[in-house]
Amino acid sequence: MKAKKAFVWLLLGWGLSFFALPAASQENPSGNMQIVIEKIRADKKLLVAENLGLSEAEAKAFWPVYAQYQDELFLLRARTAKLIQDYANAYASMNDATAKNLLDEFLAIEEVGVKLRQAYLQKFRAVLPETKVARYFQIENKIQAALHYQLAANIPLVN
């Protein structure tokens, strides 16, 4: 039950932080954003640790791969945040050319995400048993689904 509460808290915090980052960055761009990012990463790592049940040997092999993967996911999420900002900037005056560019970028981001997961699947398989790899990818998928839900709920359809 404790892990479930932590998961819900993480998802709420992650989603709210995702939308609060631009506001926070106006006050102190480097300081506030870095604090929020570090907090989210620490909470997510705790959630993963609580739900994977790694042995000491597994943990020693897993966490470096996890850290690399999270760095690459962060870059992908930053690209998504830029796409959302571009959409917001173009929303009132959307035309076919802009819509095409935004959609093409969305699909490119999705493609990079699939390739990233495939590449890291092999790396995680090299350091964990298959059941724990599956569990880890389920955790990541749940977080991604919650983020997508939050975004879908807050981004209006094109006029």
Does residue 128 fall inside a structural domain? yes
Scanning the chain, the segments in alpha helix (DSSP H) are 2-27, 29-52, 56-90, 96-127, 130-154
Q: Residue 22: give the domain boundaries.
A: 2-154
For 81-134, what is each residue's pLDDT tens digit? Answer: 999 999 999 999 999 999 999 999 999 999 999 999 999 999 999 999 999 999
Count of structural domains, the chain: 1
Does residue 159 fall inside a structural domain? no
Looking at every residue in the chain, the average pLDDT score rounds to 86
The whole-model pTM stands at 0.78
**In this structure, what token pair is assigned to residue 56?**
């000491």
∠ at Cα 15 (5, 19), nearest 5°?
A: 150
Does residue 38 fall inside a structural domain? yes
d(CA 38, CA 53): 23
